[in-house]
Structure formats: structure tokens, C-alpha cells
Amino acid sequence: MATKSNANAIMQYSFLAAFANDGTIDAAELAMFERLALEDGTVDAQEREMLSRIFSRVTEETVDEDVWAEICRFKNEHQIP
């Protein structure tokens, strides 16, 4: 049985919640991205591509230190460019 990618849900969440209110990602928003990406136990290629686009919109200076560390950890663990 093929798994369904959550890439579209990740994109929608980024527009409706994460970037809509303040243009950045907070800890709760990052946790939601991770939950959506890992819903089926793995981060597929479409989810990696979408998360790469989303994460490229923030920098170390625009998010909390803990959020930046978790973004870096998650990207490394799941091979997100």
C-alpha cells in the first residue's frame, strides 16, 4: 500500500499558520511541521522538498535559538537540504 505524502498539508500549514501571523517559525509551529512530515513514520522526497523551501525562509537570526537548533537537527536527521 502506497503512503500518502503530507507535503501539501505542510505547505498549507506554512501559509495558514506559521508565516501568516509573524513571518517566522516558533517551537509549536516547528513541532507541527515535524508531526505532519513524520505522520507515516518517514519523511518522503516531496515532504523534504517542501520543508527545505519553508526552512529556507528563516535564518538563525529570525527564530529562537532552540528553534534554530531543532531545525538544523531535523534537517540533518532527515536529509533535508
In the chain, % of residues over pLDDT 70: 96
**pTM score, whole prediction:** 0.87
**Position 1 pLDDT exceeds 50:** no
Q: What is d(CA 1, CA 10) in angstroms, rounded to the nearest whole number? A: 22
Please answer whether residues 58 and 27 qualify as being in contact, where contact means their C-beta atoms are separated by less than 8 angstroms: no
**Position 3 pLDDT exceeds 90:** no
Q: List pLDDT tens digits, range 31-70.
A: 999 999 999 999 999 999 999 999 999 999 999 999 999 9
**Position 21 pLDDT exceeds 80:** no
Integer distance in angstroms from the first to the last C-alpha of the chain? 28
